[in-house]
Amino acid sequence: GSARMYPETDVPAVTITKELLQKISSTLPEGFEQKVKRFAGMGLASQLATEMAKSDLSRQFEELCVKTRAEPTLVAVTLLQTLTSLSRQGKKVSSIGEKELEEALCAVAGGEMMKSGLPVAIEEMAGGNSLQQAIEKRNLKRISGKQLLELCEREAKQLQAATQGKAENEIGKKRLLSLLMAKYRLQVDPAELAQAIG
């Protein structure tokens, strides 16, 4: 019965060897602290790594990191913060499947879209648009390379005209950078823009 004090006499004893302990420990699931450490090793900040390790989305996070090659921090923030925030705003994020999220993250990782535009794209996708429709509708296509240089030249000329040619100095460059970031923040990389301005 439940109050029995002595070992079962009819069952042979099991000898616990080092090999048996190693076999058991190798099949144990990953512990919480190990998961946090592994996520931190992927580049997540300590708090974000802890939050992700606690989340039911941790498996999806790892799969999306592998499939999309997007920055792990971006994937974690998208799953834990962006989707939650949009849901609180009444957006139907539950209509966005893993395939759509994968496509959006791939667009960022592949340079088609800036990560700052990702929440906007996801919001549009929650409204029933495809990723390409979202990019077109909200003007999210990344501007870089030659196109960015042309944009800088065009905006610099407009700024010079507005300031009667006084935009050549350092103040003019800072003003141009500020103006372009305000206007194209979802489409340009700040470091690349600063380099293009000179």
pLDDT per residue as tens digits for the range 79-92: 999 999 999 999 99
Mean of pLDDT over the chain: 88
For the CA atoms of 115, 119, 124, 127, the dihedral, rounded to the nearest 10 degrees, stands at 150
Q: From the CA atom positions of the chain, what is the Rg in Å?
A: 26
Output the pTM of the full model.
0.78
pLDDT at 168: 52
- What would the pLDDT profile of 16-45 be if each residue is shown by its tens digit? 888 878 887 777 778 889 999 999 999 999
Q: What is the pLDDT of residue 109?
A: 95
What is the average pLDDT across 174-186? 88
User: Residue 138 belongs to what H/E stretch?
Assistant: none
Q: Considering only 78-82, 121-125, 166-170, which range has the smallest mean pLDDT?
A: 166-170
Q: How many residues make up the chain in this entry?
A: 198
